[in-house]
Copies of this chain bind each other. A is one copy, B any other.
């Protein structure tokens, strides 16, 4: 298995090279210190796997991943990073990286490389279990931003359950007219035109 290692810190790349090659199962073809190196070296060597840090000067590991995968969709890229950042993880999943490993989990690196080499994808257990949240919480509705208060929010939620104004008024101990007024105000704030659009908006942003 031939790999390329990219990391900001040359101490890290050389340490990794030593450790990984000691296993006897792989060869480090080259190493670099930023996204530009990653792209150049990938094109030059076409390694089995590119092992790269995310946070780096200039072009990040994620940007490099995107560029490389656009040109070589089968590229196997394993991301190496210091911490679990939801944004990074979402990006990594969307782009199609084959793995996301924490640096301090150094014992995981070689097994992860082996698994990726054999065609699998490797992510931390915490990541797998968090995927549903990660993907749902993408846009997220900022009620405060739209100046929606508690009461109005309650009305929105009930509309999003498909209730009529009358049913909502009963549930909230308000008169039907009041509910209508709330709805009218909500629609204006959100720049929508009817309750159906509101329900749709709610499901798209929640």
Contacts and interface: CB of A to CB of B under 8 A. Distances in A.
Given A93-B128, A135-B132, A161 B120 contact: no
B135 A131 contact: yes
A197 B196 CA distance: 8
A20 to B, nearest CB: 14
A203 interface: yes
A59 interface: no
A162 interface: yes
Nearest to A118: B108
Contacts of A124: 119-121
A18 interface: no
Contacts of A122: 115, 120-122
A96 B203 CA distance: 26
B98 A108 contact: no
A111 B114 contact: yes
A114 B122 CA distance: 11
A71 interface: no
Nearest to A124: B120
Contact of A162 (B119, B131, B200): B200
A129 B203 CA distance: 23
A123 interface: yes
A46 interface: no
23 contacts: A93-B128, A96-B129, A98-B125, A99-B120, A105-B120, A107-B118, A111-B111, A111-B114, A111-B115, A111-B117, A112-B118, A112-B120, A115-B120, A115-B122, A120-B122, A121-B124, A121-B125, A121-B128, A161-B200, A162-B196, A162-B197, A162-B200, A203-B204
Interface of A: 93, 96, 98-99, 101, 105, 107-108, 110-112, 114-115, 117-125, 127-129, 131-132, 135, 159-162, 164, 192-197, 199-200, 203-204
